[in-house]
Amino acid sequence: MSSSQPADLAPASGIAAGAVARRPSLALLGVIPFFLFALLFLIGPTLYLAVGAFQDPQGNFTLQNMIGLLQPQIMAAYWISIRISLASAAFGALIGFFLAYAIVHGNLPRWVRPTVTTFSGVASNFAGIPLAFAFLATLGRIGLVTVFLNEAFGVNIYRLGFNLLSFWGLTITYLYFQIPLMVLIIAPALDGLKKEWREAASILGASRWQYWRMVVLPVLAPSLLGCFLLLFANAFGAIATAYALTGSSLNIVPILLYAQIRGDVLYNPNLGYALAVGMILVTGCSNILYIWLRTRAERWLK
């Protein structure tokens, strides 16, 4: 009798355990604010823009707004925005990678890495009017660095062709938050590089360049390309810094979008919605590719 009792109780206990496992967890309540926030400030506005892009001012369906994106001025704005985003992403990824490698594998003092990562966390979110003012005060025509170079070395960077309110001026400004962002997102991938790989390569007679070409770069390639795409999307959607720094002197998509929605001369909200949809498609494709590359990179770094 005693031997059959545990067997009788086992199914009951299994059913109870299954019921507990299927019971909704209270932890789901913690993600409700996230989904609510995404619905109100991401999904909802995106759908609103998508609908408005195919409407005229009277609310009738039209393709004129999407066709209007082919105007030379708008195509030029997209091209300049893409060029600035590519340049800032390329330089930000390159400089940020070497900086991250130095603090992760450079045998620097232990206090360097937390200091750099803390600064990167702050600098990657420093944008808008404060960043524009900081660069005007530093590299403007009467900025600190401009005046110092002129008085100390007789070098006037503006006479040499530099202009902060230009393509390269905006690109350099974007690097202030692109480089720290690269440090933050590539550092975990660099942490995944195992010392055993370097030791094994040395035992097999591989040089340092061969180790980088055959081991490090193939492993980090998905992460590096994914970070580049994320930096590209980050720069392509930036508006506050560009508008505060250049105003309407530089014809990029975010400024043109602002002029179409809030301006007095180019006021055409529905065309602005179409511009926004175009930006969403560009940044969306970049982010989707970034997520896909990140999943591939995590296979190697586990």
pLDDT (tens digit per residue) in 242-293: 888 887 778 888 888 888 877 656 678 899 899 999 999 998 899 898 888 8
Do 184 and 284 have their domain in common?
Answer: yes
Please, are residues 233 and 88 in contact by the beta-carbon 8 Å criterion? no
Give the amino acid at 108. Answer: L
Task: Confirm whether 251 is domain-assigned.
Answer: yes
Main-chain phi, psi angles of 152, to 5 degrees: -85, -35
* Domain range for 79: 68-301
Do 118 and 40 have their domain in common?
Answer: no
141 is written with which tokens? 């025509």
Task: Confirm whether 170 is domain-assigned.
Answer: yes
Compute the distance between CA of residue 118 and CA of residue 63 in angstroms, rounded to an integer: 48
Using alpha carbons, select from 259, 256, 275, 277 the residue that is nearest to residue 267: 259
Counting the structural domains of the chain, the total is 2
Do 37 and 172 have their domain in common?
Answer: no
Residue 13 pLDDT grade (very low, low, confident, very high; cuts 50, 70, 90): low
Residue 21 pLDDT grade (very low, low, confident, very high; cuts 50, 70, 90): low
Task: Confirm whether 14 is domain-assigned.
Answer: yes
User: Tell me, what's the pLDDT at 264?
Assistant: 57
User: Tell me, what's the pLDDT at 1?
Assistant: 47
247 is written with which tokens? 């105003």
Task: Confirm whether 63 is domain-assigned.
Answer: no
Please report, for the domain that includes residue 225, its CATH number: 1.10.3720.10
Query: Biggest alpha carbon distance in the chain?
Result: 102
What's the pTM?
A: 0.84
Each residue's pLDDT tens digit, 138-179: 999 999 999 999 999 999 999 998 999 889 999 999 999 999
Task: Confirm whether 285 is domain-assigned.
Answer: yes
* Cβ contacts of 214 within 8 Å, gap of 6 or more: 201, 206
Please, are residues 120 and 203 in contact by the beta-carbon 8 Å criterion? no
Compute the distance between CA of residue 53 and CA of residue 257 in angstroms, rounded to an integer: 12
Using alpha carbons, select from 231, 235, 255 the residue that is nearest to residue 245: 255
CA Rg value for the chain: 26
37 is written with which tokens? 């926030």
Do 44 and 72 have their domain in common?
Answer: no
User: Tell me, what's the pLDDT at 96?
Assistant: 97
Each residue's pLDDT tens digit, 211-250: 888 888 888 988 899 999 999 999 998 888 888 888 777 8
115 is written with which tokens? 């200091």
Please, are residues 211 and 198 in contact by the beta-carbon 8 Å criterion? yes
